[in-house]
Structure 1
Amino acid sequence: MLTTSIPSLLLFGAAVVLGQMASPSGLGDSAEALAKQPSAPPPGVPSQMEDCDPDRVGFELITGFVLSAPNNVLESIPGTLMLSDCLESCQANESCYAVNYETGLCVLFSTNADMATGALTKSQFPVYTIYAQKNCLAVKPCERSWCVDRVQNYRLASHVKGHQVVNSRQECMELCLGETEFSCRSANYNNATGDCELSDMDRITLAGTNAFQPTKEFDYMENNCIEEPTKLCEFKKLTGRILKTVDSVFQDVGSLEECRELCLNSPYRCHSYDYGDTGEMVCRLSHHSRATLVDIQEPFLDVPEAATYELSSCYNVSIDCRSGDMVARIQTSKVFDGKIYAKGSPNSCVQDVNNSLEFELHMGYDDLECNVRKNGLGRYVNDVVIQHHDKIVTSSDLGLAVTCQYDLTNKSVTNEVDLGIHGDIEPSMSEEVTVDSPNVAMRITDRNGDDIMSSAEVGDPLALKFEIIDKNSPYEIFVRELVAMDGVDSSEIVLIDSRGCPTDHFIMGPIYKSAQTGKVLLSHFDAFKFPSSDIVQFRALVTPCMPTCEPIQCDQEESTGELRSVVSFGKRRRRRSISNESTSSAREDLLLVQSIQITDKFGFENETNPSPSNSAGTSNGGETAFMPSGSDAGICVNMAGIMILGIVFVIAQVAIFTIWSLLWQKKRIDHKLAADNMSFNVSIPSGLNSKHSDSLSKLYTSGYAHSRRF
């Protein structure tokens, strides 16, 4: 806050100007030069202003200059807090041709800088003065307080839209004010050659560039009558500085927000304001900002506790609801270089914008790529994003929900009523709001979607549940690119492909809506795991859509080899390469991750999962060794189990060999061959009977088989 109250600050400014008027040396002119100033306007000029239609009177401003003509002072009005009031006082006085204005003082003159050559000089510190000259124009100016800002010896060096040689600076000014083929925002006039350059840009729209350059013999003129956007405006805070001279001072303003609204609704193009820094509840407005004060020396007063709020950019959004499409038209106050696109289709329904102040996006009702949704009878909605950067979304970007409403209700008509439709259907409603994406959770549950599972065994019936947390959300969701990964060596398997269809119906079924609500999706599967880890991690891309999501038809192969069509809630992205799709998904889709621990059913009580480093470990006294194989993968073997199994196998083999030897000796004693009673296709010597064959069969179905089962 300044320690000086606002009245004392205003009186200080008034003293400076009056001192300049009283002291020729303070104005930078000699007394001899001032003595040569005419006491009355030259012949012919006054009669031109006297005969001028009041509707043709317009003011041009030069900031940082003061008219030094004390013999032509008509009136000094101290305590003037509004530049517009000072200009109105001059316009009401037929003898007034120019004014000097500082915050708190207005001085009226009976001459101007064109009449009194050399009388216009740079204003002195610590404040700067605004000089305004009254002109009789050939075209009708706007109803704003002034129509032109002029900067001497400066030129806008680009974006020239028209060129013509004229006889005077005022004629060049009138060409810009009367231009109808394009919006003329500024003009350059060469005082030596008479060249007049018209442009559709100005210092504000090209702020941050080097287009505005000092150039001798040129006058830069900026059209204050141009219409600028006043909605969706963003102001940036400039800490520690306030302007020395402002255009308007309002007292008893209740809040910073009220001061901001005064700026946006001012009778001129307001580009900055400060609040409460020059007095309690004092709001000061100015048509200047850092972009328009590059030619002024030290225009700001350094006050650590103060702040100036400068207008960064504004956007006017309008929706044109036509018979076959909706068109979002954007007008901005600063050159825009980026893109505008439908939120659900950033690559297929997009318009690239290159250094433009006006741009638009067409979204056809029958264009699937633009994803226009029907929401009720005659109501169509879509989400639009205005993105400044070409690749990433930043905090400066805007999200808009646009709506077209058509009246399709029945109506009673009588004769002589023209029912023909001429041109496009007029819109009955348009809306502009910001839309946030829904919060979505992925959980592993039982088949009913109720109990959340943190662990399971291979083969357990489970389900993946995708749910929108906010029950009142207008969105629904679809799922694609569902991948299962292990927790060790990043092995993965695709369960739901990019189209939204299952890749293997024996592992993961199609995704379907819950019977209770459309906000929940489920997919059944039997628990499975990877060989190298008990942890299975699921990763999926979930995309919101509004008001409903359309399912996709997938082909499922039956065990007989026949194909059967099933419905899955995924959606195929058209006209998009895989690389583009992944880039887009990171921007518009929700990436969900969930894990579960799944154990197998092999019954190895002492089995221990290998660590990520593939090192050996022990558990419950059992010994586990990692045995390398020919490939990068390894086989985990329980050594104690192998030793026991080997001993049992050897004992079984010895028993079988002993029994076989006894039977063979007995058969050799028996001289009677019973080959036709043999039950097995083996070569056996003669002399065996059928009962011994039965014994051999029992051997294979008892001990041997038992040992194999073990």
Structure 2
Amino acid sequence: MKLFYYTLAGLALAVAICDAKASHKVTCTDETMRVDIALPSSNVSDDRVYLEGMKGYPNPLCRPKITENLATFELSLKNIYDCGVTRVINHITGNKVFYHRIIVEGEDQNTSSSSSNSNKEAVSVKCIVAGSPELNVSHSIVKRDILPAGFAETEDLNETEIITNAPEPKLSMAIRLGDKLVSGDLNVSPGAHLQMEIALDDKSAPIYGLGVNYMLVTDTKNQAETIIFNGCSVDPFLFENFNTVEGDVLAAKFRAFKFPDSTYVQFQSTVNVCVDRCKGVICTNGQTAFGRRKRREINQSPADPNKVYEVTMTTFIKVNYDENADQNAVSEIDQKIRQLKLTNQKLARNSRAGNVFESIHEAPRPQNGAGQAETITTPAAAAPT
């Protein structure tokens, strides 16, 4: 008799993963991730040891404390948005995985990008906090109770247990200006045409699919606006719906924009990871987010049955006004930001009123017998915590 089991479970550990030679130590608690990294010399300044994509980021919570040849990061696991810590929640085991990457620059930095990159080391660090399982997905084949008359089973049973663990997905988020990657230390002008890409690692891509459920943009101080709501864009002029071909890479085009009191813009995203492929979301403009299929009617979508992980991740861009920028484009972007604020106020009122069917945009249905167009509405839900 053979028993077959398929699980997506993992062990609850606190570990550190490194893809570089830099010696380091990670200490995990329920609230913090402490990373100690040995530096090549005592002359390394804190502007050469930084969180990936956040070089020059001014928040002192995200900068290391350097003592002689040791750099120490204290990253909050409660306020993960402070420094862009990625959180992965396994909805089967209940485990929470937190990870980040730290860049250590060498002493000799040349002007050419190839030389500069060759003098950088990336240290990947990870903490896993144990949780409670939500469901059991084990399946087994067992012997039937009803057997043919005269059936005799051998006493020497060959019993084998086969356990297969699916890989833990690793996600990356990148912003591109043409072919160039945009990070926190590279300025872009308001109105610049950018593209955001969210992708699975090569090992996970054949197994999982992605879907962006929610996205918030903030100046990291006191201003924040929702830009993706229930999988659909709130303002497609500023930020289009995410599309995909195979399901393991999502892409959305958007315009660079900023808030008045900060040059930094942070994108806070909630991404679903599903077995095989996430379900597309039908938006009020007739487009299916995460795909290109169109449909006439829009219904409230139930939770995706294939969802296995929920990933909260962030990225930053630095947007600054350029004297050579197109002032008409800048003015148009500013107007769209004001409209976005009004739309979010409407969403907030609807959430307080409990009206989960209020639409962001109105779209007509086919005309009824009276010759009048009816309004299709999109389900709304409170922002995830």
Q: Pick the structure with more helix per residue.
A: 1
Higher relative contact order (CA 8 A, sep 6+): 2
Higher Rg = 1
TM-score by length of 2: 0.39
